[in-house]
Amino acid sequence: MCGGRRRRRGGSDATAGEPGGWGFCAPALAVVALAAAAAVAFLEGTAGGVAYAGDGWFHECAKWDAEGGRFLVSTFFGAGVAEVRVGAGEEEALAERVVVADPDVAGRVALGLVVDAPRRRVLVAYADRPPSFGYAAVGAYDLRSGRRLFLARLDGPGESSFADDVASDDDGNVYVTDILGNKIWKVNPDGEPLSVFKNATFRQRPGTMDNLIGLNGIVYHPNGYLIVVHTSGGDLFKVDPKTGAVSVVRVRGSLKSGDGLELISPTKLAVAGKPSRLVESSDDWETASVTGRYVGPVHRIGSSATVKDGDVYVNHIVGFGLGRKKTHVLAKAVFAPL
């Protein structure tokens, strides 16, 4: 057997180089390792887009910073934001560089982020490290220097919460989803908490499995409302940011496991997940249809989407690699029509 010496008849041991000895085991393990590496390399090659080396297994969200010419990525257990700059050849291996590392959230996790271009800042949602579910906050940081503009605490005393994604409206108000509490926190442009949107409409189905992961991805629509997805239920909602009024977007097709959102245009929405989906509406998001599907690398899970030069890029939450640096992928999504 591998990892030891096998007894022969008569009591002698198998030796190196003989079946059952270390010499037989090592080449077999090497062949398996090479085969596994080749399989992963092949799967990685199917992604297209941008591959880069980063610290840690998990990178939850990535957004394109057009003015800075870079992707900004939340580093999850790193509790910060890194930049990934893209050269002429997108497929070449790149390395991330940390640009936001707030000491007041050390030991937490960094999740959703959004680039608030008019105010030249990046907004980041923070939560406790699972399995703790208490702390929730949103931070705002200068896009060029990484200097903190505010850090707003969101959770209430004794409250279980998990801040996940973030959006900003035309006036600079900030909205953060809570996947545990099925609610949306609203914060003013200077970081002062304003209100909390709770509504029974957010829970469309009974049972644990359809509510395990609640309100998740969120975007602000230029027509003046929020669009938010419920991951486990697969429901899409339209929310009035002034009153908190909620309506269900009647979607033809499934959005179950939907995660991060990105508006491609006022009538088109990318929903990251496994698979990622293209959703379209012709009536100002009263109704919508799933019109496209992108599976991506079969060994990776899409968690957020962003648009760069008209193309949709899907961030995959789990990296791969044996060393401290993991390979992360921002795959260029080509949606197959449905």
pLDDT at 203 over 60: yes
Q: In this structure, are residues 107 and 128 in contact, taking their beta carbons and an 8 Å threshold?
A: no
Q: Which domain holds residue 331?
A: 28-337
The stretches of the chain forming alpha helices (DSSP H) are: 22-45
* Position 162, amino acid: F
| Residue 96, C-beta contacts closer than 8 angstroms, at least 6 positions apart | 52, 53, 54, 55, 73, 75, 82, 83, 84, 328
Q: Per the domain annotation, does 270 fall within a domain?
A: yes
pLDDT digits (tens, 9 = 90+) for 32-45: 544 444 445 445 55
What does the pLDDT read at residue 1?
Answer: 41
Residue 5 maps to a domain: no
The yes-or-no verdict on residue 307 having pLDDT over 50 is yes
Domain count for the chain: 1
Instruction: Confirm whether 96 is domain-assigned.
Output: yes
Q: How much is the average pLDDT of 225-245?
A: 98
Residue 78 in any domain: the answer is: yes
- The per-residue pLDDT of the chain, averaged, comes to 89
In a domain, 15, yes or no: no
pLDDT for the residue numbered 17: 45
Q: Which residue has the higher pLDDT, 296 or 87?
A: 296
Please give the pLDDT value at position 187: 98
Token match 């010419």: residue? 69
| Distance of alpha carbon 90 from alpha carbon 25, whole angstroms | 40
Residue 218 inside a domain? The answer is: yes
Q: Which CATH number covers residue 126?
A: 2.130.10.10
Asked whether residue 38 is domain-assigned, the answer is: yes
Q: What is the pLDDT of residue 142?
A: 98
Q: How far is CA 310 from the centre of its chain?
A: 20
How much is the pLDDT for 69? 94
Interval 11-70: pLDDT, tens: 444 444 444 444 556 666 555 544 444 445 445 555 578 999 999 999 999 999 999 999
Look at residue 323 in the predicted model and tell me its pLDDT.
Answer: 77
Instruction: Say yes or no to pLDDT of 3 above 70.
Output: no
pLDDT at 297: 85
Confidence of residue 174 (pLDDT cuts 50, 70, 90): very high
Q: What is the pLDDT of residue 45?
A: 52
Task: Please give the backbone phi and psi of residue 83, each rounded to the nearest 5 degrees, phi first.
Answer: -105, 145
Residue-level pLDDT at 47: 58
Percentage of residues in the chain having pLDDT higher than 90: 79
Structural domain contains residue 301: yes
